[in-house]
Structure 1
Amino acid sequence: MATIQDALAAAVRHHQSGNLAAAARLYRRILEITPEQSDALHLLGLVARRAGQGGAALRLMIRALRIDPAIAEARLNLGNLLRDQGHAAGAEAAYRNAVALRPDFAAAYENVGGLLRGLSRPADARDAYRRAIRLSPAGSEGHAGLGNVLQEGDDLQDAVASYARAIAIDPTNMAVCNNLGIALRSLDKTGAGAEAATAWHRRAVALNPYFAAGYSSLGLALQELGRLEDAAHAHARAVAVDPGFAGGYANHGNARLNQNRLIEAVTGFRRAVAIDPAGPDARRNLGMALLVGGRFEEGWREYEWRLRCKDAPAQAAMPKPRWTGEPPDGRRILLHGEQGLGDSLQFCRYVPLVAARGGRVILGVPAPLKRVLAGLPCVERVVSGQLGTDDFDLHLPMLSLGEVFGTQMDTIPHRVPYLSAEPDLVARWGERLKGLARDGGGLKVGIVWAGSPTHGNDRNRSIGLAPFARLAAIPGVSLVSIQKGPTEGQAANPPGGFPLLNLSPDIKDFADTAAIMANLDLVVCVDTSVAHLAGALGVPVWVLVPFAPDWRWMLDREDSPWYPTMRLFRQERPQHWDDAIDRLERALCERAASLPLRQNGASDMPILAPVSWGELLDKITILDIKTERIADADKLANVRREREALLAVAVKADTARPEVAELIDGLRAVNTTLWEVEDEIRDCERAKDFGPRFVELARQVYHTNDRRAALKRDLNRLLGSELVEEKSYQAY
C-alpha cells in the first residue's frame, strides 16, 4: 500500500465504478492500519447500506461522526440510514445538522423535502425543495421532488412545470418522465391529457424496459383513452417484469373489469390481495367485481374495505361503536351516507329492517335528501351536517347494510315504493304540468342527461342533452327537464330547439323532484341519483347504463333486482351510445303507440276498471313471478308493460308499512306455489297420470287459493280499500 490517501482514492474509484467488493476490501485494510480514519468508516458504511446491512452501516456512520462530527455528507447519510429504519425524527435532525454544517448543501434540503413529504407535511416539504432549487438550480432532483409535492396537492399545472424543468436537466430520469405523464393525465380529463401522458409513459419504459410502475401508468393512460385491451397488455407487462407488484395485478383486474371480463378481473384482484392482503383498494375492487357478478356474500365482505381506502369519507370513522347486526335493544343507530346521493336513496330501504330488529333509526344524509327521506317509515330523525356524539349510540355506513343483513339476490328488499312524494308538492307541480301532453294525450317523460362531473366515471355515464331530441320527435311524447347541476342550463336552449318543458331552475331538492315524478308517466335518465329516486318511488324509469356498469346494475340483464319498475338500456360497446338510444327510442315509440288516443268514440277510451287494493297487489305479485320465469322476449316485454302500468297505480298505497309488506310477501309466496302446482298438474295431464299425486295437487289448488283470498282480504282491511272482494264456498 502506498499512502492511506492513495489507498482511499483507489477505494473510492472502485466504489464509484460499482465494484463494491473491491472498495470494501480497501476500506477495511485502511481501517486495520488506521482505525480512526473517518472517511473510510463513512464510505464503508455506504457500502454496507448498499448491501442491505442497515445495522452495520449505522454503526459505521456513527463511529465516523464521533471521530469527525463536522462531516456534512456523513450527517446526510446518517439521516438516510435512520429514514430507512423508520426513525423519521432522527433522520430529520441529521439532515438539519448537515445543512447547519453546510448551508449550501442542496442534497440535504432535497432529502429533507423527501422525508417531510412522506410525513404528510407538504408545506414544509415544498419549502425544503425550493431552498434546494435556489442553491442548485441545475440539479434535477429538487425540481422532481417539488413536482411530486405539487402533484399530491393537486397543483397540477405547477407540477407539470417542475417535472419539465427536471427532464430538461436530466432527460434520462425514467421516474420523472412517468410522473409527468401522471400529472398530465390528471390535469386534462378530456382525453388529450391521457394522450400526452401515453407518450411520456412510453418514454419511461423505453429508458428502462424493466420499469414496472411505468408499464402500469401506461396502462392507466390507455384505459382512459378507451383502449382497454392495450391497457390490459401494459398491466400484464408490469407484472411480468415484477411478479411481486401488487398494484400491477390490481390495475390489470381493473382493466378486465372495464371489459366486463369478470373471471380475469377477479383473478387479478385476488393475486394483488395475495401479495398485499392489507391493501384496501384491491380488496374493495374485488368486492365490486364479485357484486357485479351476483356473488353477494363474499362481495359484501370485500366491499367493506372501501372504508379503508384513501378516498373513504371522513365519517367512516366514528366515535361510537359500529352496529354489526346484534339486537339494538332500543339504542339509537345513526345510518349515514358515505358516497353519492344515489347510494343513500338505494340503501335507505333497509331502515324498516333495522327498526324491526329494535333499533331507533337516525338518518344522516346530505341536505338535498333531507326532505324526501323525512317521510320514510320507521325513521326517528333525519339530519344533515354535524350530529353531536350524545345524539346516537351506534353507527353504520349505509352501504354496509347489505353485508350486515347478509343480502343475497333473492333477499334484496325490492318492494317499492319505499319513498313517497309530499301530496301538497305533488299538487303544486301537477299544476305546472297541466296541459303539457301533445296530440290530445300522450306520455309525460322526465329526462336527466348528466350526473355530477366530479364523479370518477362521469365521462362514461353522462351523454348530454342532444340525443334526447330523437325522443322529443316521437308522436305522443312530451319531455320534461328534471336535470340539476352544472349542465341544467342546456334545457333553456335545447339543441335544435326541440320542445322541452324546463322545470330544472325551480327544483330546490329531491322532494321537488319526487313530486314532479309523481306527475310523470316515465323517467328516462343516465346512471345517476335520479334513477334511484324514481326506482324508490315505484315510478317507471328507463336507465342508460354504460358498457362497464356500476356494480349494482350487474351484467346481461334489462331489469334490476333492486328496483322492480326499472328497465336498463345498456351500451353494447364502450363510449358508443347509439345502440342503446336506438333501443330506447323504439321502446318509447311502442309505449306511446300503445296508449289509446283521447277521441270521442267509446271504443277509443282506456279501460279503467276499479279494483280492490288486494286484487291489484295480487296481480302485481303474479307479474313479478312472470318477469322471473318467462324467457320469451316478446312475452316478457308485454309482462313488463302491464306491470309498470299497475305499479304506477300501486304507488298510491302505503305498501312500505311492515305489516302490509309482510302480507305482500305472503301473496308472492302463495302465487309462486300456485305457479308450481299448475306446472305439475300439466305434467300429470301430459302423462295421463291421474293418480294420487294428481288428486293431491288438485286439492292443493283450492287450499292455496283460500290462503290467497285471506291475504287479499287482510290487505284490503289494512289499506282501507273501498272495494272488497268476497268469496263464498262450501266448507271442506
Structure 2
Amino acid sequence: MQDLIAARFQEGLAHHQADRFAEAQAAYGEVLTANPGHAEAWRLMSLLAEQFGRSDLARDWADKARALEPGEVHHLFGEGVALQQLGRFAEAETRYRRVLALAPEALEANNNLGLVLGRQGRNAEALAFFQRAIELSPGSPVFHNNLGIALTDLDRHAEAEACYRTATTLDPTHVGARHNLGKSLHALGRLEEAGQALQEALRLRQDDPRILNDMGVLLNQLGRVADAEMVYRTGLSLAPEDASLHYNLGLVLLKVGQYREGWAQYHWRWKTEDRPDNRVFIQPEWDGSPLPGGKLLITAEQGLGDILQFCRLAPLAAARLAPDARLILEAHKPLISLLRDQWPGIEVVGYGDPLPDFDAHLPLLSLGGVLEQDDQTIDGAPYLRPDPDRAAAWAERLAPLEGLKVGLVWSGGRRPWQPRVDAVDKRRSVRLAQLAPLASVPGVSFVSLQKDEPGLEARDPPPGMVLHDFTSDLTDFVETAALVANLDLVISVDTAVAHLAGAIGTPVWMLNRFDTCWRWELEREDTPWYAGLRQFRQPTAGDWPPVVEAMTTALAERTQD
C-alpha cells in the first residue's frame, strides 16, 4: 500500500511540475484519501490552491500540514522542499532562509539552500551554504559532492576534484561523485584518469545514460571513435529519447563519413539542454518540398565559420523551391556585407534583427541532411566572390611584398561565457611563437590575419619573422575576403578565416587538432568541403611541433615550385 501511495504522489508531483494542475490535484487527493497524515501532499495541495486563487483553501491545507509537523522550522522547511521539487527555486530560497534565521545549524536547510541557489545560477553564493553543511556534518559524501558541483559550475575544476575525491573516499559507492570526478578530470585535460573515474562510475551503475554520454565524449576526444559510437548506441538503447546521446552520436557518424544517419542524429542538437538557439517558431521546419508561393527562412546558428561553410547550400535550397517561392538567409552580422550580394534572389538578413514573414524555416546546418549532402555530393569549388574593387585595392597595397604572400591565423574566437566551446578553442589554437619555424623558410612574406586579443602577438613576432599587420583595416569580412584573395596561401587554425579562404578559392593549410571537428573527418589530408584546403593533423593530443615542422617542410617545397 505504501508503495502505491508513494508512486501516486510522484505522479502528482510530475503533473504539478508540468503545470497539469487538475491531474496533480486528483493524484494528491488519492494520496490523502489513503493517508490523511501525508504532510507533504497537504503542502502541495496548499500551493495548488494558491495558484487557483483559493487563498482560503490554501490556508486550511497549509494548517493541516503544519499540524502534522508542528513547529515553524519544520513547516517552513517542508514548504521549501515542496517548492524546490516544483522548480520554484526563488520561493524555496525564501523558505530556507527563514529556516536558517530561526535555526542557523539546520543541516539540510543549508544544503538545500545551496542547491536552489545553484539552480538559479548563483553558484558563488551557494558555496558558503555547502561549506556550512560540511562543517556541521563533515562525514557526508553528499555535501562534499554538492560543493564540488558548485565549484565545477564556476570552472574551478581542481577544487572540485578534491571535493569529489573526498566524497568517494567517504562512500566508494557514490556514483554521482565518481561521475563528477570523471567530468572534472576531463575538464582538467587528464583524460586517462577521467576515463578510469567514468569506468568506475559505470561499474557501479552501468545503465546510466548520462555516464555513458560523458564516456562517449571522452572516447571521441581520445580518438577512439568506434568505441564512442558503441557507447552512445548503448546509451540510446536505455534512453531512446536522450537528445545529447543522439547529437553526440551524430558528431561521431559525420566524423567517419556516415552522412545519412549522421545528419539525422545531428539534428537532435535542437533538443539538447544547451541547444544552439533558444528561439521557437510556430512555422514548420522545411522538409525540402517546393513551398509554392511561400517564404523559406534559413536561420543562422553557431559560429562565423559554420555560416561561411554552409551558406553554399542556400542556392541549392532555393533551387528546390517553387519558382514563386523565396529564400531568406539569416547570417551573423559581421558576415552580412559579404553575403548580401552573392546570390541573386536570396535575401540576407542579420541575426538579431526583426525577421520578415516566412512560412517554413530550417537551421542552416540542417540543410546538410535535407539536401542529402555527403562526400560524393559536396561541391568543394569556390562559391564566394570577393568585392572586385576592394580586391584591386588590396592587390595594390600588397604588391610591394616580396616572394610568397602567406596569411597567418593562430587563434580562434574565445568564448569564456561558453566553457565547453572555450575548451575546444584552447585545443585548436596556438601562440604565434609556436609558428616560429615557418620564418626559417626564405622567400616568404607573412601577413597577419589574426584579429582581437590574440592579434596583439603580431606586435612581437618570433625572431626572424617579418610579419605585416593590416588587421586594423579589416573592418568587416568584405575587407578580409579582399585581402585573402590576394594571398598565395593562408595558414590557419580551424577557425572562420580558414573557411573564408576555402570559400573564395585561396589555398589554405589548416593546423588541425588531434580530436578533430566532425567536418574534417578522419585520416585524410584533404576535405570535400574545400578543394584548396590541406590538413596538417596533430599526431597526439596537444602535440603541435610535428604539425608546424611538416608545414615548414611543405612551405619550403612550395617556394621552390
How high is the TM-score relative to the length of structure 1? Answer: 0.67
The residue type paired with residue 359 of structure 2 is D
- Are residues 1:461 and 2:428 paired? yes
Q: Would you say the 8 A contact 1:469–1:495 is kept in 2?
A: yes
Q: Which moved more, 1:168-177 or 1:292-301?
A: 168-177
Give the structure 2 partner of residue 148 of structure 1.
115
- The Cα of 1:118 is off from its aligned counterpart by 5.2
- Are residues 1:158 and 2:158 paired? no
- Are residues 1:592 and 2:556 paired? no
Q: Would you say the 8 A contact 1:443–1:592 is kept in 2?
A: no
Mapped partners of 1:153, 1:577: distance in 2: 40
Give the structure 2 partner of residue 536 of structure 1.
503
Q: Which moved more, 1:47-56 or 1:337-346?
A: 47-56
Mapped partners of 2:532, 2:46: distance in 1: 62
Deviation digits for residues 531-555 of structure 1 (CA, Å, limit 9, x no counterpart): 1111111111111111111110111
Give the structure 2 partner of residue 447 of structure 1.
409
- Are residues 1:366 and 2:328 paired? no
Deviation digits for residues 371-411 of structure 1 (CA, Å, limit 9, x no counterpart): 11113224521111456565222211011111101222211
3-state SS of the aligned residue for 1:410?
coil
Give the structure 2 partner of residue 520 of structure 1.
487
Mapped partners of 2:8, 2:345: distance in 1: 62
- The Cα of 1:276 is off from its aligned counterpart by 1.3
The alpha-carbon distance between structure 1 residues 100 and 378, as it changes in their structure 2 partners (threshold 3 A), is farther
Aligned runs of 1:26-65 on 2, under 5 Å? 54=9, 61=32
- Are residues 1:241 and 2:204 paired? yes
Count residues with an aligned counterpart: 531
Q: Would you say the 8 A contact 1:239–1:249 is kept in 2?
A: yes
Task: Indicate the structure whose relative CO is greater, using CA pairs within 8 Å and at least 6 residues apart.
Answer: 2
Q: Would you say the 8 A contact 2:42–2:62 is kept in 1?
A: no
Aligned runs of 1:371-520 on 2, under 5 Å? 371-386=337-352, 391-415=357-381, 417-437=382-402, 441-454=403-416, 455-456=421-422, 457-494=424-461, 498-520=465-487
Q: Which moved more, 1:348-357 or 1:109-118?
A: 109-118
Give the structure 1 partner of residue 143 of structure 2.
176
The residue type paired with residue 447 of structure 1 is V
Q: Would you say the 8 A contact 1:219–1:235 is kept in 2?
A: yes
- Are residues 1:213 and 2:179 paired? no
Give the structure 1 partner of residue 24 of structure 2.
none
- Are residues 1:75 and 2:39 paired? yes
Mapped partners of 2:41, 2:169: distance in 1: 31
Mapped partners of 1:116, 1:523: distance in 2: 57
The alpha-carbon distance between structure 1 residues 143 and 328, as it changes in their structure 2 partners (threshold 3 A), is same
The alpha-carbon distance between structure 1 residues 331 and 496, as it changes in their structure 2 partners (threshold 3 A), is same
The alpha-carbon distance between structure 1 residues 64 and 291, as it changes in their structure 2 partners (threshold 3 A), is closer
For structure 2, list consecutive stretches of 5 or more residues without a partner in the other structure: 11-26
Mapped partners of 1:197, 1:107: distance in 2: 32
Aligned runs of 1:79-118 on 2, under 5 Å? 79=43, 97=63, 105-117=72-84
Deviation digits for residues 561-600 of structure 1 (CA, Å, limit 9, x no counterpart): 1111111111111122122122122212222233xxxxxx
Q: Would you say the 8 A contact 1:447–1:479 is kept in 2?
A: no
* Percent identity over paired residues: 37
Q: Which moved more, 1:133-142 or 1:582-591?
A: 133-142
Mapped partners of 2:345, 2:408: distance in 1: 29
Mapped partners of 1:118, 1:88: distance in 2: 16
Give the structure 2 partner of residue 566 of structure 1.
533
Name the larger-Rg structure.
1
Aligned residues: CA RMSD: 3.2
Mapped partners of 2:203, 2:485: distance in 1: 56
Mapped partners of 2:115, 2:254: distance in 1: 36
Q: Which moved more, 1:323-332 or 1:275-284?
A: 323-332
Q: Would you say the 8 A contact 2:269–2:276 is kept in 1?
A: no
Mapped partners of 2:435, 2:103: distance in 1: 59
Q: Would you say the 8 A contact 1:143–1:166 is kept in 2?
A: yes
Mapped partners of 1:108, 1:290: distance in 2: 53
Mapped partners of 1:552, 1:328: distance in 2: 30
- The Cα of 1:268 is off from its aligned counterpart by 0.9
Mapped partners of 1:199, 1:382: distance in 2: 51
Q: Would you say the 8 A contact 1:167–1:173 is kept in 2?
A: yes
Q: Which moved more, 1:423-432 or 1:317-326?
A: 423-432
Q: Would you say the 8 A contact 1:316–1:397 is kept in 2?
A: no
Q: Would you say the 8 A contact 2:485–2:501 is kept in 1?
A: no
Mapped partners of 2:46, 2:252: distance in 1: 41
- Are residues 1:331 and 2:297 paired? no
Q: Which moved more, 1:101-110 or 1:287-296?
A: 101-110
Give the structure 2 partner of residue 197 of structure 1.
160
Give the structure 1 partner of residue 105 of structure 2.
138
Give the structure 1 partner of residue 215 of structure 2.
252
Q: Would you say the 8 A contact 1:448–1:530 is kept in 2?
A: no
